[in-house]
C-alpha cells in the first residue's frame, strides 16, 4: 500500500525577477481529462509569477518544482498568476501546455 493519501494535491510556487507580461486577456489552454491538464494564465498585481497546481497525481512535488523551474528559466514572467488543473499529465505535456499558454500572450513566443 502507498502511504500517499488519496485525493487532489495542491502545490504552490512563486517566482520573482521576471519581465512584466503587461496587460492581457485571460488565457486558457488544454482540457482536463484522462492524462491531460488545463493551464490558465491571468494578469496579477505585483512583480511575481505565482503558480497553483491542483493535481490528482499526489507525491510528485519535486517533479513539479523541476518543471516549474524550467518553465520560469525559459519564460521569466512577472505579474502573472498561473492555475494548472492536472489529471496525471507527463512533464512533457505540462511544458507543452505552458508554452502554448505563453504563445497566446501579446508578444508571447514558446
Among the four given CATH numbers 3.30.40, 3.40.1010, 3.30.230, 1.10.287, the one describing domain 9-103: 3.30.230
| 28: β partners | 40
Domain boundaries, the chain: 9-103
Cα 85 to Cα 40: distance, rounded to the nearest angstrom? 9
The answer to whether 39 and 83 have CB atoms below 8 angstroms apart is yes
pLDDT in tens for each of the 110 residues of the chain? 456 556 889 999 999 988 999 899 999 999 887 668 999 999 999 999 999 999 988 999 999 999 999 999 999 999 999 999 999 899 999 999 999 999 999 876 54
Listed in sequence order, the residues at least 6 apart from 77 whose beta carbon sits closer than 8 Å to its beta carbon are 15, 18, 19, 21, 49, 102
Q: Which pTM was predicted?
A: 0.89
Amino acid at each position: 500500500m502507498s502511504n500517499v493519501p488519496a485525493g487532489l494535491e495542491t502545490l504552490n510556487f512563486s517566482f520573482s525577477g521576471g519581465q512584466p507580461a503587461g496587460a492581457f486577456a485571460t488565457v486558457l489552454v488544454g482540457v482536463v481529462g484522462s492524462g491531460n491538464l488545463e493551464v490558465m494564465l491571468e494578469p496579477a498585481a505585483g512583480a511575481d509569477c505565482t503558480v497553483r497546481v491542483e493535481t490528482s497525481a499526489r507525491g510528485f512535488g519535486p517533479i513539479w518544482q523541476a518543471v516549474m523551474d524550467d518553465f520560469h528559466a525559459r519564460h521569466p514572467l512577472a505579474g502573472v498568476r498561473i492555475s494548472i488543473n492536472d489529471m496525471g499529465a507527463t512533464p512533457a505535456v505540462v511544458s507543452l501546455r505552458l508554452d502554448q499558454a505563453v504563445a497566446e500572450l501579446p508578444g508571447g513566443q514558446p
